[in-house]
Structure 1
């Protein structure tokens, strides 16, 4: 029986070319790798854009082994309400808001994909983004699924025995390959390139704020240099793949696949209006010592123009600042996960959700002083830049108390969803 996979695209913007390209990748996986591909498009765009997407989907070239699902938010809500009713958990209204919030949430849209993948009986989920494109080599698109499919969910020893290059060291060979991913080439993953062009010193000051406050300057400097740069700009020339403990800095969420044993155990943070809320599982897989495949079929990244408009600019910069504030809590959790190591796994090498929930709740007791310091540093940096950055600094000043509160409550919400997740997954599967 062919392995069933979910190739997923969450979107809230017009992306007709991406839909066509995604269907081509699905056809490649079905034709060359024998997969049963459930192509899942989660569409949160406006009515006019959705209608155009529906027209594009209706015109997609049918491919044997590919089933296309194009769901708007009403259809997603219906599915979630049925799942919540079956789960019978207390407070279904709060859970529904965490799964389908009224504001932008990269984590929440992927969590909906995880639940739908379970309902569709998929063994893995492969995520792409609407603001990215496939590279071309010798006139043909370079599809990441080529490396994602063969080994996900299988013991690492099988991949090694088949000749896949490995640097797993002493990692037990019976642990399953839980992740496959690569990065991107092109523009920075976070749309702050203008800051770097205008003032390298200010760029360093701002980007350094996602490091823990106690790090030495040299370590912070190295983080700034590699942050948001992906795989640089060099195009694809030939395949490389290695079985390893995948460094989260080497993978982007526009180019990743997870085995269901990961995402069916723990969701992503459902925080709204923040970037980076969908990267948690990369850290979890690494810290738990689960094997992954790191390859070089990088995706081309680009920025859509709405992030630089009069309304889009402050909204995006606010998301970036919320990301910086979230790191107070996530660095604490990452440190606890790294110290726990294989203790994060049960005897079947599955993630133990209770351990993660405990670390999240523990983090909410942290002193907010470090985040007050972060806001001070952002205020100083943005005022140096002047113009709309200075105007945004004024907006931040008025929102300080709210931002500090949101950063903590986002973690509380995540702990709540993670605690409910096993029951939600069971309900989705049935």
Structure 2
């Protein structure tokens, strides 16, 4: 029986999402005969964690669905066993544990933990949802992305070509397996910058433009800036449409994504703390390696939690956005090299050559500091021009300036270190299994 992992990483209250994702898990088991492991990775504070425990306990029993609700202590116990099995000295193990379970929010690290636990559970794919998302409904029935993910993920591209609405596979890639399946979102922007766009479109364009490679022609840049973080707009689901082709990272969202194990068992995500957007690394890699992907229109409904609207939540999120714009100085050098390498990133069996990618990441650490310094100047100046509460963001960036520049570089060094050990960790996870089923 096919075994898959549907995961919900969270650090905030989301009892409604827990109930909804459990329905999606039941759908996958019922419609596809799959064994679905619903994995909730919960880093919430104690009162919220207790609410989640109650919500999980209240879930109806569903044939084919096993629920794992793991708090940080349970996740740490699992990781310690994996690190012990993978070998290496204690200092290296401590550093890897910090990269896998950092004390700060890390979009990459929480998904990396899901990848390793999925390996322990014997799953062939990981399907990620987020706490600030809901499903669309048509005639009172939820529109589950898992349907398309289970239909296509891991399948030989030529075998499913005819079932897609359209196909644009690169020559010679028909024998490769579908590595990624994803949709986008409707509703609020995925990144909380709508107010900036409203207040000052030019400043918005300046900030968002930092996320794009500088080599892009101006006409492309304007289009991509306008489309960034907006997902599929407000269109309602009106029937399935699918495209079989390498997926551009701008066309899907990490709240609505599925990965085949042949991809995530070889390469992890950057564990950069307090930095949005870095968890899209595997999407860039799969696209640049020309691996087949499936893009669908079962879009998630995105919304912003109340926490983001508080003063503390606003400041924390804007700093995470600024750190993303600093990180792209390094990430874009890696993406340029993976794009140039193309399918040379793949071995004879069509799998990512992780050592090659790790080399690109390691080389990026030596990027001349001029570019990150210039970026931080632009970011701070943009927030200061916006005024009002954005001045607090600018002041915070100025106060943390040396540390932010060091962190952007050090995060890439940490990523390279994790990549060096990742395949050993994935093998050790498969050997360890999962003893805790909370």
Shorter-chain TM-score bucket reads over 0.9
- Is 1:46 the counterpart of 2:45? The answer is yes
Q: Deviations over 1:371-402 (max 9, x none)?
A: 21111112222112111111221221121111
Is 1:362 equivalent to 2:363 in the alignment? yes
Closer, same or farther in 2 for the Cα pair 1:214/1:180, shift >3 Å?
closer
Q: Aligned partners of 1:21 and 1:295: how far apart in 2? A: 20
CA distance in 2, matches of 1:335, 1:221: 20
Cα separation, 2, equivalents of 1:46 and 1:422? 32
Q: What is the match of residue 339 of structure 1?
A: 340
Deviation at 1:209, TM superposition (A): 1.5
Q: Secondary structure at the match of 1:160?
A: helix
Match of 1:267 in 2: 268
**TM-score, normalisation: structure 1:** 0.98
Residues 122-144 of structure 1, C-alpha deviation per residue, up to 9 Å, x if partnerless? 01000000000000111110000
CA apart distance, 1:162? 5.1
The separation in 2 between residues aligned to 1:142 and 1:222, in whole angstroms, is 29
Shift of 1:205: 1.6
Does residue 328 of structure 2 align to residue 327 of structure 1?
yes
Q: Partner of 1:193 in structure 2?
A: 194
**Structure-2 separation of matches of 1:391 and 1:146:** 44
Contact 2:170 2:290 in 1 (8 A): no
For 1:370 and 1:274, locate their aligned partners in 2 and report how far apart those are by CA, in whole Å: 18
3-state DSSP of counterpart to 1:397: helix
On the 8 A contact 1:213/1:370 being kept in 2, the answer is: no
Per the TM alignment, residue 172 of structure 1 is displaced from its structure 2 partner at its CA by: 2.3
Aligned partners of 2:367 and 2:430: how far apart in 1?
Answer: 37
2:99 match: 98
Structure 2 CA distance for aligned equivalents of residues 34 and 293 of structure 1: 21
Alpha-carbon distance between aligned partners in 1 of 2:64 and 2:422, rounded to the nearest angstrom = 30
Matching of residues 68-147 of structure 1 within 5 Å: 68-90=67-89, 91-147=92-148
The range that moved more, 164-173 or 29-38, is: 164-173
CA distance in 1, matches of 2:279, 2:164: 32
Structure 2 match to 1:220: 221
Corresponding residue SS for 2:73: helix
After superposition, where does 1:23-422 map in structure 2 within 5 Å?
23-90=22-89, 91-160=92-161, 165-422=166-423
Q: Distance in 2 between matches of 1:37 and 1:346?
A: 30
Question: Secondary structure of the residue that 2:275 maps to in structure 1?
Answer: coil
Secondary structure of the structure 2 residue equivalent to 1:89: coil
1:379-427, Cα deviation, whole Å (9 max, x unpaired): 2221121111112212211211111110000000000001100100010
Query: Could you list the runs of 5+ residues in structure 2 that have no partner in the other structure?
Result: 432-438
SS for the counterpart of 1:300 is: strand
Q: Is the 8 A contact 1:89 1:420 kept in 2?
A: no
User: 1:171·1:289 contact (CA, 8 Å) conserved in 2?
Assistant: no
- RMSD after superposition: 1.2
Q: Distance in 2 between matches of 1:29 and 1:391?
A: 46
Distance between the aligned counterparts of 1:163 and 1:352, measured in 2?
A: 28
149-158 or 246-255: bigger deviation:
149-158
Which secondary structure does the structure 2 equivalent of 1:23 belong to? helix
State the shift of 1:169 in Å: 4.0
For residues 396 and 298 of structure 1, the distance between their equivalents in structure 2, rounded to whole angstroms, comes to 35
Is contact 2:105–2:274 with CA below 8 Å preserved after alignment?
yes
Q: Distance in 1 between matches of 2:161 and 2:376?
A: 47
Partner of 2:435: none
Give the Cα separation in 1 of the matches to 2:352 and 2:213.
26
Contact 1:326–1:407, Cα closer than 8 Å, also in 2: yes
Deviation at 1:219, TM superposition (A): 2.7
Q: Is the 8 A contact 1:105 1:277 kept in 2?
A: no
Q: Give the 3 Å change call, closer, same or farther, for CA 162–380 of structure 1 in structure 2.
A: closer
After superposition, the Cα gap between the structure-2 partners of 1:276 and 1:71, relative to the gap in structure 1 and judged at 3 Å, is same
Q: Which moved more, 1:110-119 or 1:196-205?
A: 196-205
